[in-house]
Chain A
Amino acid sequence: MGAVVRLAMVLARRDRWILAVWILGIAGLGFVTSIAVAGQFGNEDERAAIISVAAASPAFLFLRGLPDGTGIGAVVFFQVYSSTAVLAGLMSTFLVVRHTRADEELGRSELIGSAPVPRVAPLAATLLVGACANLVLAGSVTAGFAAAGLPVSGSLVAGGAVGAVGLFFVAAAAVVAQVMPSGRSANGVAAGLVGAAYLVRGIGAALGTPDADMMHVKAAWPSLFSPIGWGQRSRPFSSADPVPLLVLAAAALVLAAAAVLVRNRRDLGASVLHDRYGKERAGAGGASFVGLAWRLQRSTLAGWCLAAATIGAVAGGLAPLVRDALAGNRSLKELIGRLVPGGQADVVDLLTTALLGIAGVLAAAAGIQAVLRLRAEEAEGRAELLLAVPASRARWLAGTLAIAALSVTAVATTAGTAAAVGLGLSGAGNSQGGLIVAAALAHVPAAAVFAAVTSLAFAVVPRLSSALAWGFLAVGLILGQFGELLGLPLWLQDMSPFRHSSAMPAEPFDPDGALTLTVSALAGAALAAFLIRRRDLTA
């Protein structure tokens, strides 16, 4: 036990800055949202109006959460809970994989395993650090809500809900780390689980049944299969109930025990899924920068496309259910006609637009991730081998940027096609299939800007490129999702590339925005190709 605590102290020291950023970021998001809601929707009538709009709009329910009355706390929780829960999940999965499978792959675990400590000590230490991080997170989120003036008891349950979701994903990622062969694949699968939890919760919420006064929505059954959905059931600011959080904690305990059991029985470095042998010779194109970039990115791209197809399929699958629910509810239909921005926009179109917007974020993330491979190549010493050949750095960069552009386009196309096929099969919605695919592709220019900015960061400040790129995406998302709610100035909101994408099919295509974004992306990439020549290779 002493060894576990000692190791945990080392892990905590390694992570102190990155965890501080995650925790303060998540708690800060809760705090500013609370301030914004209290400021913008100060009186009950305003809150009732926005809640009833939300309750009537499956797109809103999908993205945000379940309306739970008109108290300030309830509105805040509705707005911000899902986002904070997703962030808590990602914080936890990255934390766990970093100290388990990734360390094992890099050979650090071997060094620790040679010391007189139990075999499971590194895993146990990781679980301990994960649990403590989420405890601190729960406390910080609670403090953020309470500092913004929300009731303390409700804040406590809300903080607990975010922490409990994080705790669940600590344990889930520990299991994933036992199964997957590499840190990268383990991170991909674990983050995919967080995304799936968000989607499943969203489906449960979108299919939920509003009560008569449109102030509460009861989640449908799919929500039971999502840890984020369970956290939502605690309803902190109306009828607080900690039991769902205890369910999450119990599930985490079971998963953690399973991970420990597997770790104790397997060899160091062994995994349930593994790939020992590859091809003896490189295939066609395997001896070029583009070929290498494709070879490195292709399986990851398949993962991104799978996620995009899921989102598209959700759009297609939810549409008829949403339409039917509305068909049977006249008053609801009237309400939407009155309240939803744009007036006559079709409810199915709105849902499709919202989901394709998420696909756009996914495309941007795929682009960023593809470009950041360059940094991994450099930091892990492989760029040194590559750049000792008679070819310029600009060509090396260009090869990866081409694959990044391909990734962005492939993710958007997959989401659009899946949505178009789903909508076509179900016969819901008024939009043509081609228009749906075009709607997905409308997000490509904005997503490409993220890839270009990442390459620029890599060319100028390589060591910060990962933090800057993902930070830019987070800021872009928060500005896009919460910018108006927070009452941020327009110029600041306009910093987010997503703001300049056309929200098709609910809104028409805006060629100016697309052109500006495309030109920005190309200019950024060209500048990166120029600047990459001017710096030392740095580990």
Chain B
Amino acid sequence: MHTGSPPVIETTRLAKNFGRTTALAGLDLSVRTGEVHGFLGPNGAGKSTTLRILLGLIRPTSGTARVFNLDPWMDPARAHRDVAYVPGDVSLWPNLSGGEVIDLLTGLRGGADERLRRELVDEFDFDPRRKARTYSKGNRQKAALIAAFARPARLYLLDEPSAGLDPVMDSVFRRQVQRVSGDGATVLLSSHILSEVEQLCDRVTIIRSGTAVESGTLAELRHLTRTRFRFTAATDPAVLAALPGVHDLHSDGTGTEFDADAADLGPVLEGLAAAGVTDITAAPPSLEELFMRHYTESDHAVPNGEVR
């Protein structure tokens, strides 16, 4: 990571209200040059609102947003010079063909790289002659993706881009993200598909109800979460419950399960050894769990997980 250079995207206490509804409530987001940054959150968390502010389409109620160190609201044309965008809900001109749409969108950014355009149309298996009126959701998505990737950009803003793509097309999309990332571009990828983020992203910001609840590399985030143990033991496993960092201990007919905090793994392993374990599995924390934890926990829960 080029940690020395200033962030491509930087928001500070970004807030946006639509009438009485609060869409963003003080979001801090920092995306560094050259990274693929996952922007995770459930529907309505404020992901699309953030991207629209970053594009200067809407004005923040308070706080600041900088893209390439420019204010996108004051200076959208300059801020957009090296940006490619794929909206979450792609709506196209019904009477334009797919090819015309791609030429329009790349043309407004300065023209497509013809070789790239050909390859992308081919790889995405896209029929550019059909009128946009006849396209399915997936095909509209493809048109926007081809237009975004057919001209090199320094920043790609992708709002749930693989929604509507089948698994084959999804892998084409991932390859494209890896390609532009390899070329040194920065990507902000909003998503609620965890496997996509796990596979593609260097760093992740998790947003919930308009604020960032977690941000860091996947390794850092895993560190914050718990490992799940499942074991069978000779002695009564209940003694483990007294150890610090053990949660949700319960037994069924075939074994016992519990979660352990990363920080307390040492004492837990010692406790397990003392308990005379005959069989054990330990599952790494998945992003899925991390994600679920942030969405299922109520606002009143203590952050370090004392209450579950």
The answer to whether A and B belong to the same complex is yes
Residues of A in contact with B (beta carbons under 8 Å apart): 105, 181-182, 275-282, 286-289, 291-292, 295-296, 299, 380-382, 384-393, 536-537
Contact check, B107 vs A288: say whether CB atoms are below 8 A apart.
Answer: yes
Asked, given contacts A282-B103, A287-B103, A381-B89, whether A389 binds B108 with beta carbons under 8 Å apart, the answer is yes
Contact check, B99 vs A280: say whether CB atoms are below 8 A apart.
Answer: yes
- CA of A382 to CA of B87, assembled, Å: 9
Contact check, B99 vs A281: say whether CB atoms are below 8 A apart.
Answer: yes
Contact check, B131 vs A276: say whether CB atoms are below 8 A apart.
Answer: yes
Contact check, B91 vs A381: say whether CB atoms are below 8 A apart.
Answer: yes
| Nearest CB of chain B from residue A397's CB, rounded to whole Å | 14
Assess whether B307 is interfacial by the CB under 8 Å rule. Answer: no
Q: What is the total of A-B residue contacts with beta carbons within 8 Å? A: 116
Contact check, B100 vs A390: say whether CB atoms are below 8 A apart.
Answer: no
A sample of 20 inter-chain contacts (CB < 8 A) reads: A182-B133, A277-B97, A277-B131, A278-B97, A278-B100, A278-B129, A279-B97, A280-B97, A280-B128, A282-B100, A287-B104, A287-B106, A289-B108, A385-B85, A385-B91, A387-B56, A387-B57, A387-B76, A390-B80, A391-B77
Asked, given contacts A292-B104, A390-B80, whether A382 binds B93 with beta carbons under 8 Å apart, the answer is yes
| Nearest CB of chain B from residue A325's CB, rounded to whole Å | 46
Asked, given contacts A279-B99, A388-B85, A389-B109, whether A296 binds B131 with beta carbons under 8 Å apart, the answer is no
| A289, A299, A391: residue with the most chain B Cβ atoms closer than 10 Å | A391
> Which A residues are CB-close (under 8 A) to B91?
380-382, 385
Contact check, B129 vs A280: say whether CB atoms are below 8 A apart.
Answer: yes
| Nearest CB of chain B from residue A104's CB, rounded to whole Å | 11
Assess whether B65 is interfacial by the CB under 8 Å rule. Answer: no
Instruction: Flag B138-177 by CB within 8 Å of A: 1 or 0 each.
Output: 0000001000000000000100000000000000000000
From the candidates A282, A295, A380, A384, name the one contacting B107 in the complex (CB within 8 A).
Answer: A282
Contact check, B111 vs A287: say whether CB atoms are below 8 A apart.
Answer: yes
Contact check, A385 vs B129: say whether CB atoms are below 8 A apart.
Answer: no
Asked, given contacts A182-B133, A380-B91, whether A536 binds B100 with beta carbons under 8 Å apart, the answer is no
> Which A residues are CB-close (under 8 A) to B96?
278, 295
> Which B residues are CB-close (under 8 A) to A296?
93, 95
Contact check, A390 vs B95: say whether CB atoms are below 8 A apart.
Answer: no
| A299, A387, A392: residue with the most chain B Cβ atoms closer than 10 Å | A387
Asked, given contacts A277-B97, A279-B97, A280-B129, whether A381 binds B87 with beta carbons under 8 Å apart, the answer is yes
- CA of A291 to CA of B134, assembled, Å: 22
In the complex, given contacts A385-B144, A391-B77, what are 16 additional A-B residue pairs having Cβ atoms less than 8 angstroms apart?
A276-B130, A278-B130, A279-B99, A280-B97, A280-B99, A286-B107, A288-B108, A382-B92, A387-B55, A387-B76, A388-B87, A389-B109, A390-B81, A390-B83, A390-B108, A536-B59
- CA of A182 to CA of B95, assembled, Å: 9
| Nearest CB of chain B from residue A236's CB, rounded to whole Å | 44
> Which B residues are CB-close (under 8 A) to A291?
104
- CA of A288 to CA of B76, assembled, Å: 17
| B130, B133, B157: residue with the most chain A Cβ atoms closer than 10 Å | B133
Asked, given contacts A288-B108, A380-B91, A382-B91, whether A281 binds B100 with beta carbons under 8 Å apart, the answer is yes
Residue of B nearest to A279 (CB): B97
Residue of A nearest to B159 (CB): A384
Residue of A nearest to B58 (CB): A536
| A279, A280, A291: residue with the most chain B Cβ atoms closer than 10 Å | A280
Assess whether B272 is interfacial by the CB under 8 Å rule. Answer: no
> Which B residues are CB-close (under 8 A) to A386?
105, 108
Residue of B nearest to A535 (CB): B59
Contact check, A536 vs B104: say whether CB atoms are below 8 A apart.
Answer: no
Asked, given contacts A287-B111, A381-B89, A391-B108, whether A279 binds B77 with beta carbons under 8 Å apart, the answer is no
Residue of B nearest to A107 (CB): B137
Assess whether B52 is interfacial by the CB under 8 Å rule. Answer: yes
- CA of A453 to CA of B24, assembled, Å: 34
| Nearest CB of chain B from residue A22's CB, rounded to whole Å | 27
Assess whether B276 is interfacial by the CB under 8 Å rule. Answer: no
- CA of A389 to CA of B131, assembled, Å: 23
Asked, given contacts A388-B55, A537-B52, whether A275 binds B85 with beta carbons under 8 Å apart, the answer is no
- CA of A537 to CA of B78, assembled, Å: 18
From the candidates A182, A278, A295, A392, name the one contacting B77 in the complex (CB within 8 A).
Answer: A392
From the candidates B87, B99, B110, B133, name the one contacting A105 in the complex (CB within 8 A).
Answer: B133
> Which A residues are CB-close (under 8 A) to B76?
387, 392-393
Residue of B nearest to A392 (CB): B77
Contact check, A390 vs B94: say whether CB atoms are below 8 A apart.
Answer: no
| Nearest CB of chain A from residue B152's CB, rounded to whole Å | 14
- CA of A280 to CA of B103, assembled, Å: 10
Contact check, A385 vs B130: say whether CB atoms are below 8 A apart.
Answer: no
Contact check, A384 vs B87: say whether CB atoms are below 8 A apart.
Answer: yes
Contact check, B77 vs A385: say whether CB atoms are below 8 A apart.
Answer: no
Assess whether B218 is interfacial by the CB under 8 Å rule. Answer: no
- CA of A537 to CA of B48, assembled, Å: 13
Assess whether B90 is interfacial by the CB under 8 Å rule. Answer: yes
| Nearest CB of chain B from residue A401's CB, rounded to whole Å | 18
> Which B residues are CB-close (under 8 A) to A393?
76
Contact check, A537 vs B57: say whether CB atoms are below 8 A apart.
Answer: yes
| B85, B89, B97, B110: residue with the most chain A Cβ atoms closer than 10 Å | B97
